[in-house]
Amino acid sequence: MLELPKSTFFGRIIAKDKICSHAKANSELKDIFAKQVERIRWLNKISPATLNIAQGEHVKEIQVIEVSLSTSTPDKRILQTIIKGIRYKIIFALVYGGKTTYAVYYDSKTSFTSDTPPKFVGNDTDSIWNSILIQMRGSALDKGKTIDEQIASDAVREGMIRHIERLKKQARSEKQPRRKWKLAEEAKLLNEKIYER
């Protein structure tokens, strides 16, 4: 469980239809909510009003939202819809079958999950949020990089890896020996470039 003082406790049930309404969800998404989400509970609010911390420049508040699920593999649009409906930085506590998994979204495409709850480290809302992202990411940042720089760098690296896989696949199916060699060589050079980064 998350280790937070009682002053942060909110404990309010959020109606699923209210979230869907705020996020302007279509009927398909409302149906997914009805089938896959049992309950949404606003557990905690981390802000200068609830903790002895300063207001960050970018992050005003961090919310902890518990989502009780009726499936182990929920549709990823569920959390994205809750984010649209609440519009704060959110730590999700996803509960299914007596087990809790934690999730955060860096942006609309980049998310991190962990079975271990994050610790709240920092003296303002910005530093606490950055610390949570680093912990949830699951590995240390490269030397001298901020979380934003690291996530951008990771995205470039993942794009390069996908490109290498496409090149290797093309090389395997290529009939002309010269073209096959050229594709394999390009994949090899890109692979070396990844490990130089």
Beta strands 99-105; 89-96: pairing state: antiparallel
What is the distance between the alpha carbons of residues 55 and 196, in angstroms, rounded to a whole number?
39
At position 67, the amino acid (one-letter code) is V
Per-residue pLDDT at 33 = 92
Segment (H or E) for 149: helix 147-173
Structural domain spans, the chain: 6-137, 147-196
- Would you tell me the crossing angle of helices 125-137 and 147-173 to the nearest 10 degrees? 30
Per-residue pLDDT at 117 = 93
CA end-to-end distance (rounded Å), the chain: 37
Per-residue pLDDT at 93 = 95
Q: What is the pTM of this model?
A: 0.79
Per-residue pLDDT at 155 = 80
